[in-house]
Amino acid sequence: MQLASTVTRFRVRQFLSLTKPRVLSLIVFCAVIGMFLAVPGMVPPKLLLAATIGIWLVAGAAAAVNCLVEQKIDAVMTRTRARPLPRGELTSLQTLAFAGAVGGTGLWMLYALVNPLTMWLTFGTFIGYAVVYTILLKPMTPQNIVIGGASGAMPPVLGWAAVNGEVAPEALLLFLIIFAWTPPHFWALALYRTEDFAKAGLPMLPVTHGHRFTRLYVLLYALILFASALLPFAYGMSGWIYLAAAIVLNGIFLGYAVRLYVSYSDALARRTFRYSIAYLAALFAALLVDHHFFK
């Protein structure tokens, strides 16, 4: 009995790892922020729960499809070779069945318990990441993360649509922030994982254009991100608390980008990547606090 329980827990962990839980948590967090920014007060608990779980399930299914498609690539990369598919702990059929069941359940929840618009937007996001980015863009162009970043920028739009049943200009501003954040976030990772991507045959920017060029682009996109992050205040969506937080957080990010360009090291690129994750969470949290307590 104890052996069966241990095997079950191990299997559950394997399937959960297909959903890329750390990435998934940031996706869901941004979607929830979008929900709370869409209303002056509280989001109805049933709607909040249904939308959060539905988006979580579909995003997890998209990540599982990504693992399925890239299992051969994952097997040769240090960062990903411990995933269940490269290690032979799960089969392609099991992964496909898991993604279908989880994604289908999530889409049904969004359609039946939230609204059809959110379901279709989430389905489009799934196609954008699992098909357009993973299958078409990633192996073909060094601009893959720029174009494919559109699907990764959708969570706050999904959250907003779940509550209001529309895509408002405010939601598009949140989309723009994440869209501008994605390239410097990912390229910081690509800089210290260049050999991995080259070994896998993926045309990431440091592989095709070199480190110096990539570091310049990280700096340019950090500037674009800085400007994008000020738009909620300029539009009247936020107040002075958010503006102060945005200036500080983006100033730090820009400092990292300048240092990367001037005096690169793998350790600095790694710290930049880690900061970029904390940056996005803190920026959206500041927007939420400003919206509900100070505006």
Could you report the per-residue pLDDT of 195-219, keeping only the tens digit for each? 988 888 889 999 999 999 999 999 9
* pLDDT at res. 2: 56
- The residue whose two tokens read 């100033």 is 251
CATH C-level class of 169-295: mainly alpha
Tell whether the model's pLDDT for residue 291 goes beyond 70: yes
**Is 0.75 topped by the overall pTM?**
yes
Domain(s) labelled CATH 1.10.357.140 in the chain stretch across 1-167
* pLDDT at res. 182: 95
Distance CA 37, CA 256 (A): 29
Taking alpha carbons only, the member of 235, 249, 227, 252 closest to residue 295 is 235
Within 10 A of 6 (CB to CB), how many other CB atoms are there? 10
What number is the average pLDDT over the span 262-283? 96
Domain(s) labelled CATH 1.20.120 in the chain stretch across 169-295
Within 10 A of 216 (CB to CB), how many other CB atoms are there? 15
Could you report the per-residue pLDDT of 7-57, keeping only the tens digit for each? 677 778 888 888 889 889 999 999 999 999 999 888 999 999 999 999 999
CA distances from 65 to 47, 69, 92, 94, 292 (A): 27, 6, 10, 11, 37
Specify whether the CB–CB gap between 155 and 137 falls below 8 A: no
What is 1-167's CATH number? Answer: 1.10.357.140
Distance CA 16, CA 27 (A): 15
Q: Residue 26, CB half-sphere, CA atoms under 13 Å: how many?
A: 16
* pLDDT at res. 7: 65
Could you report the per-residue pLDDT of 101-126, keeping only the tens digit for each? 999 999 999 999 999 999 999 999 99
DSSP the chain: -HHHHHHHHHHHHHHHHHT-HHHHHHHHHHHHHHHHHTSSSPPPHHHHHHHHHHHHHHHHHHHHHHHHHTHHHHHH-TTTTTSTTTTTSS-HHHHHHHHHHHHHHHHHHIIIII-HHHHHHHHHHHHIIIIIIIIIITTT-TTHHHHHHHHHT-HHHHHHHHHHSS--HHHHHHHHHHHHHHHHHHHHHHHHTHHHHHHHT---HHHHHHHHHHHHHHHHHHHHHHHHHHHHHHHTSS-HHHHHHHHHHHHHHHHHHHHHHHS--HHHHHHHHHHHHHHHHHHHHHHHHIIIII-
Tokens of 106: 């999530």
Distance CA 196, CA 77 (A): 5
Could you report the per-residue pLDDT of 142-155, keeping only the tens digit for each? 888 888 888 989 99
Within 10 A of 42 (CB to CB), how many other CB atoms are there? 10
